[in-house]
Amino acid sequence: MTVQARFSSALEDVTTNRTIYVDTIRALPTPVGNVITLEDGVVYILTAAINLGVNQLAIPTNGQVAIKNNNELTNSITTDLVSGGLITGNLARLVIQDVNFISSTGAGSFFDITAVTAARPVVIHQRSFVSNFASIGTIDGATSIANNVVFSGCGAGITLADNGTALGAGCVWDTVNFISQTGDHITITGNSDFLSFNTIVAAPSTGDQVFEVSAAATASSSFGQQLFDGSNGGTLGLDITYTSDATISNLYEDVGVDTSGGAVTLTLPLAADNLRREINIKKKPGGAPLTIATSGSDTIDSNSSITIRGSRAPSVRLRANDEWGVR
């Protein structure tokens, strides 16, 4: 199943009741306790640059809201927020298109989204520039779709948590650029049906990585071509080291194995869920044998498993087609 087919329903726009053109903060709902709760079913279109002061933008519970722009070259949203998230809520659907967001304080997070009530919550973020927040923040429980987005000068990255295991729930990020980003850029936790990351442009610093993947995270995944620059000392992060028996998550490309504590069996995920994916497995020198086994009726070059022994540190690169094969 293609990425587009999995997410076809997620790409639909909000169910619109009306459109509000925003040329000043007074066109938005009146703040209550520094929170502007946007109206359900409304498309807000910027027609001028807006300063929100210290106010947050809250999406109503199970609400659907779109924030768009009629001139992304000049119109932007500036915030003086000193803590918390700029965009918050337990939403059903949020669409952000052609809007730039700038923090004047270098504080707070851009997203603080929790979406645990609606059946198929979705956050769509397209053609946008987000600058100078203390962190990009969290999207928890919602499918996240990002395309042509630039994050610049944010102090920490984004956490994508529990994006849902229903068909079509997960993340699709394509052409996302991190500029002067500190910390781990994209942290993935919890379970999803599908994850796809393509053309993520990043140059993390020493000790930081582009992807930080929880060992418990599961999903069918596609980590395509990334424009990764390691000259600043950071790493891509799609790696893990196993010391005991485990099934390799669909999320990892580089797998280390330490058998100094005893023999280890690693089970490959189903080849059908990982077509054309490659996994590089490297055993630490010495130690007990490493067995690489298959799931279901899969094979590795017509074998149900292969075993690596010896004192040297062999590396095995496997590619999934109709079966797993040693490259």
Q: State the pLDDT confidence band at 48, using cuts at 50, 70 and 90.
A: very high
pLDDT score, position 194:
74
Q: pLDDT tens digit string along 250-267?
A: 667 778 888 889 999 999
The pair of three-digit structure tokens given for residue 300, joined into one six-digit string: 């590795």
Average pLDDT, the chain: 85
| Residue 280 vs residues 239, 277, 320: alpha-carbon distances, Å | 9, 10, 12
CA distance 286 to 288: 7
Q: Residue 106 carries which side chain, given as an amino acid letter?
A: G
Q: What angle do CA 152, 87, 184 make, to 5 degrees?
A: 40
Q: Any idea what DSSP says for residue 323?
A: S
4 has pLDDT over 80? no
Task: Choose the most confident range, by mean pLDDT, from 50-59, 68-77, 171-180, 252-261.
Answer: 50-59
- Of 154-158, 272-276, 288-292, which range is least confident? 272-276
What pTM was computed for the model?
Answer: 0.80
- Of 77-91, 157-171, 242-256, which range is least confident? 157-171
pLDDT score, position 13:
64
Q: pLDDT tens digit string along 94-108?
A: 999 999 999 999 999
pLDDT score, position 163:
65
More confident residue, 170 or 82: 82
- Of 50-64, 124-138, 242-256, 296-310, which range is least confident? 242-256
- Please check whether the domain covering 239-327 is classified as CATH 3.30.70.60: no
The pair of three-digit structure tokens given for residue 243, joined into one six-digit string: 């010391």
Q: Residue 60 carries which side chain, given as an amino acid letter?
A: P
CB 283 within 8 A of CB 308: yes
The pair of three-digit structure tokens given for residue 253, joined into one six-digit string: 């490309």
CA distance 173 to 244: 32
Give Cα 1 to chain centroid, integer Å: 20
pLDDT score, position 11:
58
CB 201 within 8 A of CB 176: yes
| Residue 194 vs residues 143, 168, 219, 255: alpha-carbon distances, Å | 10, 7, 5, 20
88 has pLDDT over 90? yes
Query: What is the separation, in whole angstroms, between the first and last Cα of the chain?
Result: 25
Classify each residue of 189-209 as buried b or exposed e, where b means 16 or more C-beta atoms within 10 Å of its C-beta: bbbbbbbbbbebebbbeeebb
Q: pLDDT tens digit string along 196-215?
A: 888 899 988 888 888 887 75
